[in-house]
Amino acid sequence: MRIATWNVNSIRARQERIGAWLDRSDADVLAIQELKCRDDQFPREIFDSRGYEVAFHGLNQWNGVAIASRVGLSDPQIGFAGIPEYEGVVEARALSATCGGVRVHSLYVPNGRELDHPHLAYKLEWYRALTADIAGQLAADPEKRIVLCGDFNVAPLDMDVWDMAAFDGATHVSPPERAAFTDLLGAGLQEVTRQFTPGPGVYTYWDYQKLRFPKKEGMRIDFELASSVLAEAAVSAQIDREERKGKGASDHAPVIVDYDL
């Protein structure tokens, strides 16, 4: 089964590119983040016309997550147990569904903004709640096939950014954020992309500003985290850097993992 994750940074702006990518990628499941649209604005014809079932959750012009599957899609669930609010709202950042026997989560982790910003405390609480939820699921069923796909907004290792000096005093690389990511792995998950796409200099995101992409100044913040049983079935992975090129590209590249199930 080929499972991909992609922060598309506005699904309506990226419709043609997403359709063309699906046609050539042979993805069985695609977890999508940053839809930037309400549910009534979601362009589901991209997926319907290609034989994909799709579940989606968007509240406004920010955030939003979706899962598209051509191997079945059942029991879609918005959010997770204990998901925190920000400014009184549970944002559209988490969606899960069962696809081909795998519980797939599409996650758009909060950014954090700045080290002294309330959004960082929210981000860390979001991680704690997600970790507790996943730990509970795997404690109840250690053989469960789970994969967390998405934009985790953490660069776990120094080599996951182009220059650590450029991130001095910034989010995404701070010890509390990296600890939160490590704790999530400790819930019973393995990050399955790096073994097939080793770094340094291997990134999934390049800011639009300051010519970051041609300068190769990126970050590795998009991952697939699989439960132990599923991680053992991972046989290959790739980061589709080509999809970051050209007019109308998202600032993230699709991340693709093949599982031998």
Within 13 Å of residue 26, how many CA atoms lie on the same side as its CB? 5
Residue 117 in marked binding region: no
**Closest Cα partner for 3 from 250, 251, 234, 242?**
234
Residue 9 in marked binding region: no
With 0-12 CB in 10 A as exposed, 13-18 as middle and 19+ as buried, what is 261? exposed
Q: Is residue 208 among the annotated active site residues?
A: no
Sequence length of the chain is 261
- Read off the amino acid at residue 36: K
**Closest Cα partner for 159 from 218, 207, 201?**
201
Q: Which phi-psi region, left, alpha or beta, contains residue 37 (left: φ > 0; alpha: ψ -120 to 50)?
A: beta
Q: Token pair for residue 247? A: 């007019």
Q: Given 57, 105, 172, 252, which residue is catalytic?
A: 252
DSSP, collapsed to helix, strand or coil, labels residue 8 as coil
Q: Is residue 151 among the annotated active site residues?
A: yes
DSSP, collapsed to helix, strand or coil, labels residue 137 as helix
Q: Given 52, 57, 105, 108, which residue is catalytic?
A: 108
User: For the chain, what is the largest distance between any 2 Cα atoms, rounded to a whole number of angstroms?
Assistant: 47
Rounded CA-CA distance 51/45 in Å is 10
Q: Given 151, 160, 222, 258, which residue is catalytic?
A: 151
* β-bridge partners, 67: 31, 55
Q: Is residue 252 among the annotated active site residues?
A: yes
Residue 183 in marked binding region: no
Residue 26 in marked binding region: no
Residue 153 in marked binding region: yes
Residue 7 in marked binding region: yes
Q: Which residues are annotated as a binding site for Mg(2+)?
A: 7, 34, 151, 153, 251-252
The residues annotated as belonging to the active site are: 108, 151, 252
Q: Which residues are annotated as a binding site?
A: 7, 34, 151, 153, 251-252
